[in-house]
Chains A and B, each alone.
Chain A
Amino acid sequence: MNSLINKESLTDGFAPLKTIACPDSNGHFGIYGGRYVGETLMPAILELEEAYNRITPQEKFKKELNDLLELYTGRPTPLFHAKRLSEHLKGASIYLKREDLAHTGAHKINNTLGQALLAKWMGKKKVIAETGAGQHGVATATAAALFGMECKIFMGTEDIKRQAPNVLRMELLGAQVVPVESGTGTLKDAMNEAMRYWVGAVVDTFYIIGSVAGPHPYPMMVRDFQKIIGIEARKQIMDLAGRLPDLLIACVGGGSNAMGLFFPFIDDPVEMTGVEAAGKGISSGKHAATLGEGSVGVLHGSKSYVLQDKNGQIIEAHSISAGLDYPGVGPEHALFKDIKRANYVSIDDNQALDAFKKLCMLEGIIPALESSHAIAYAMQQAPRMNKDSIIIVNLSGRGDKDLGIVSTIFK
């Protein structure tokens, strides 16, 4: 099921997407995407694509997933008008899409339930996943517990330290957390190790990738499971404000929460901005601004922007936020950047921490450090827009997992 974008002509100022198949039958988003994996994995991802196309359109599958999203996850998540924050900023009205209120505390559950249900339909009883912040790991462990599947989560040792509460959660949910020491012990290394493990276990194991990255069909499949965010938000803002928003803002590591929010607005006259992590500042070189500062390359099964040196070696990323600390990005974002359908900016560690505090104090919401990057950019933009303008920020996750990091900094 290749989602062909085939809508009527777009409003002026936006690149026409109607002629672009996203992705094409080989999983390419323009020049990006594709299937850059070893031969051992090729039959498995071809099988997955076939199963995805055959199973997910079936009414029975759709009903099973929708019931889970409603009754287990608690969807639809609210679209909340952050009035105090908006008043404080004296500009556009800011609405928060409350993915932090979804079961397990982040948007990741939308995708893991979809993939785990697909795994169940395919007859697979073992699942694996990589995780950075631990939110995808927790969401995978949750789905595995719900479906009675065996679950292994690969997580970098640095992330295990900085996201300790999530490690405990995964273990309570019955998952085995496999520490990954190679590289900097962060998300990239966890994904390397998950792919290596999968090569050996591919015959009976389903790999639940957490972002709109990896080889085809993952970027398409994860987007399709996450687009519920944007579908709901679009309807909710029409109900609440009677019109479309002017700007969508979401943080981008691999890019799943951003793509989930953006995709259903793709043919609307709505601006979209993805916020990458500038870490200790772009000029310091210690950042995770892959779209902003990277170049075209191949990492983890797909072609996209990557942070790399002049010899094509991947450079380590940096961010205070484990979920954004990744030197790659989903291929569809790379396409959106090139055709200017979305704009990509960056927010550094300190700006994200300021936004974290502001949202706690003004709205009584503790956001994840990942989502705090999106809030920080909204705080920059809202004062520059007039009072009639509407911004929707994807509040992709809750910040309980970050209290350890934040408490050491705010002391």
Chain B
Amino acid sequence: MKTKRIDKTFEELKQKKEKALVGFLSAGDPDLNTSLKIIESMCAAGLDIIELGIPFSDPTADGPVIQRSSARALKKGITIKTVLEMTRKIRTYSDIPIILFSYYNPIHSYGAKAFYNDSVSSGADGVLVVDLPPEESDEMTSKWPGNELALIRLIAPTTPIERMKKIAQESSGFLYLVSKTGVTGSAGLDTQEVTVNSRLLGSITNLPICVGFGISEPEDVRKIAPDVDGIVVGSAFERIIEENLNNPNLDQILGEKVSKLKAATKL
């Protein structure tokens, strides 16, 4: 599978002895234009990979913060089409790897083949479908006419090692290690548990490993970074958006948050 931009990003970071800062945003939150400004500011501040969340009405893997951000985006009429237009706009100024993050139903409704074609042509690099485990993902990927879109898969703390191996073998781009059993934004990050799980996963795969769920502060990043290839932050950004809905400097505030987190990824 061709995952050029993703592979290149991890190569370059390795040479610089840095870890990837992966940022999740509900695309189009709080509105399309502000969202685009936020993304531009975050890219300028050193974000390495962006995950664009396609909003869904029933996000059962997400905590309250991302539930609300998803609902705000839906209210603004954000659809897969809008998210792909945003992808195209980001591509005009950045080579940052773009991962589309979705629940399966919107993709199922759009059509797996059309989704692949339109994602690739808009410049997306991968897709992570949170409720599409390996047991069901053939129905989507078998309709893909090419191999230019990485399917990013999740590994959970509950995933047994044999299953980890199987998932790793079928994956490309990077592996997304869920930090703890819980929905996104859950409190109670156990950095020791993360270290144990990421080392175990690292022992069975050569793919880069990115850890996410419940990571919000630079000190969390600093603790986890040595044992992984990237850190995903989502709810922490969305919380800032929610607390600053009418703040004209929202994009700057998020840019500053990215700078602080990014600094913590440099070993």
A37 nearest CB neighbor, chain B only: B131
B133 cross-chain contacts in A, Cβ below 8 A: 35-39, 42
* Residues of chain B contacted by A311 (CB below 8 angstroms): 79-80, 106, 109-110
Q: Smallest CB-CB separation from B62: which chain A residue?
A: A196
Interface-facing stretch out of A66-74, A80-88, A141-149, A297-305: A297-305
Q: Which of A196, A202, A298, A314 contacts B131, CB < 8 Å? A: A298
How many contacting A-B pairs (Cβ < 8 A)? 115
Evaluate whether A297 and B181 lie within 8 angstroms (CB atoms) in the complex, with A35-B133, A35-B135, A43-B158 already known.
no
Check if B135 sits within 8 Å of A200, measured CB to CB. Answer: no
Q: Is A312 in the interface zone, CB < 8 Å from B?
A: yes
Are B58 and A202 interface neighbours, CB within 8 A?
A: no
Q: A285 to chain B: closest CB distance in Å?
A: 16
Contacts of A6 in B (CB 8 A): none
Which A residues are CB-close (under 8 A) to B132?
Answer: 36
Which residue among B106, B135, B182 has the maximum number of chain A CB atoms within 10 Å of its CB? B135
Given the known interface contacts A38-B130, A298-B104, the answer about A196 and B183 at a Cβ–Cβ threshold of 8 Å is yes
Contact pick for A301, options B79, B131, B157, CB 8 Å: B131
Q: Is A55 an interface residue (CB 8 A)?
A: no
Which of B5-13, B91-99, B148-156 sits within the interface? B148-156
How long is the Cα–Cα vector from A371 to B75 in the complex, in angstroms?
Answer: 36
**Bound complex: CA A365 to CA B108 (Å):** 45
Taking CB atoms and an 8 Å cut-off, the chain B residues in 52-66 that contact chain A are 56-63
- State A301–B103 Cα separation when bound (angstroms): 11
Is B74's CB within 8 Å of the partner chain A? yes
Measured CA separation A39–B212 after assembly (Å): 13
Closest residue on chain B to residue A201 by CB atoms: B181
- Kindly report which residue of chain B lies nearest to residue A197, judged by CB atoms: B183
- Residues of B with C-beta under 8 A to A345: none
Residues from chain A with Cβ under 8 Å of B110 in the complex: 311-312
Taking CB atoms and an 8 Å cut-off, the chain B residues in 127-143 that contact chain A are: 130-133, 135-136
Q: In the complex, are the beta carbons of A200 and B74 less than 8 A apart? A: no
The interface residues of chain A lying within 8 Å CB-to-CB of B57 are 183, 313-314
Point out the residues of chain B lying under 8 angstroms from A188, CB to CB.
58
Q: Are B136 and A43 in contact (CB under 8 A)?
A: no
Count contacts on A: residues with CB < 8 A to the other chain.
36
Report if A199 contacts B (CB, 8 A). yes
Tell me if B263 is interfacial: C-beta within 8 Å of chain A.
no
By the criterion of a CB under 8 Å from any partner CB, how many residues of chain B are at the interface?
41
Contact of B178 among A34, A37, A40, A43 (CB under 8 A): A40
Per-position 1/0 for A187-212, Cβ under 8 A of B: 01000100110011111000000000
Residues A36 and B58 in contact, CB atoms below 8 Å apart: no
CA distance A306 to B131 in the complex (A): 16
Is A308 located at the chain interface by the 8 A CB criterion? yes
In the complex formed, the residue of A with least CB distance to B67 is A182
Q: How far is the CA of A310 from the CA of B79 in the complex (A)?
A: 10
Tell me whether B156 and A314 are in contact (CB under 8 A): no
Contact, CB under 8 Å: B181 / A200: yes
CB distance from A206 to the nearest CB of B (A): 15
Question: Min CB distance, A153 to chain B, in Å?
Answer: 17
Give the shortest distance, in Å, between B87 (CB) and chain A (any CB).
17
Are A192 and B60 within 8 A (Cβ)?
yes
Do the beta carbons of B109 and A203 come within 8 Å of each other? no
A301 and chain B: residue at smallest CB distance = B131
CB of A89 closer than 8 Å to a CB of B? no
A201 CB to nearest chain B CB (Å):
8
Contacts of B117 in A (CB 8 A): none
What is the bound-complex CA distance between A188 and B56, given in angstroms? 14
Asked if A359 is at the interface of the complex by the 8 Å CB criterion, the answer is no
* Most chain A CB inside 10 Å of its own CB: which residue of B62, B157, B158: B158
Whole-angstrom distance between the Cβ of A35 and the nearest chain B Cβ: 5
Whether a CB of chain B sits under 8 angstroms from the CB of A44 is yes
Is A312 touching B108 in the complex (CB atoms < 8 A)?
yes
CB contacts (< 8 Å) of A11 on chain B: these are none
Contacts of A308 in B (CB 8 A): 105, 109
* B14 contacts the other chain (CB 8 A): no
- Asked whether B131 lies within 8 Å of A36 as measured between CB atoms, the reply is yes
B159: interface (CB < 8 Å): yes
**In this assembly, does B160 line the interface, its C-beta being within 8 Å of a C-beta of chain A?**
yes
Contact B109 A43 (CB under 8 A): no
Whether B109 contacts A202 by the Cβ 8 Å rule is no
Q: How far is the CB of A41 from chain B (nearest CB, A)?
A: 8
Q: Taking the complex as formed, is B17 at the interface, i.e. its CB lies under 8 A from any CB of chain A?
A: no
Q: How far is the CA of A88 from the CA of B10 in the complex (A)?
A: 77
Which residues on B sit within 8 Å (CB–CB) of A300?
Answer: 58, 60
8 Å CB contact of B105 from A37, A39, A40, A312: A312
Let me know if A314 and B58 touch, CB within 8 A: yes
B107 interface residue per 8 A CB criterion: yes
Beta-carbon contact of B60 and A196 below 8 Å: yes
Flag if B61 contacts A38 (CB, 8 Å). yes
Closest 3 CB pairs of A and B: A312-B109, A200-B182, A312-B106
Q: Please name 20 further chain A to chain B contacts, defined as beta carbons within 8 Å, in addition to the given A40-B181, A296-B108, sorted by A numbering.
A: A35-B135, A36-B133, A38-B131, A38-B154, A39-B156, A39-B178, A40-B61, A40-B154, A188-B58, A203-B181, A297-B105, A298-B103, A298-B104, A299-B58, A301-B131, A308-B105, A311-B79, A311-B80, A311-B110, A314-B105
Q: Mind listing 5 A-B residue pairs with CB under 8 Å?
A: A40-B154, A40-B181, A182-B67, A196-B63, A312-B56
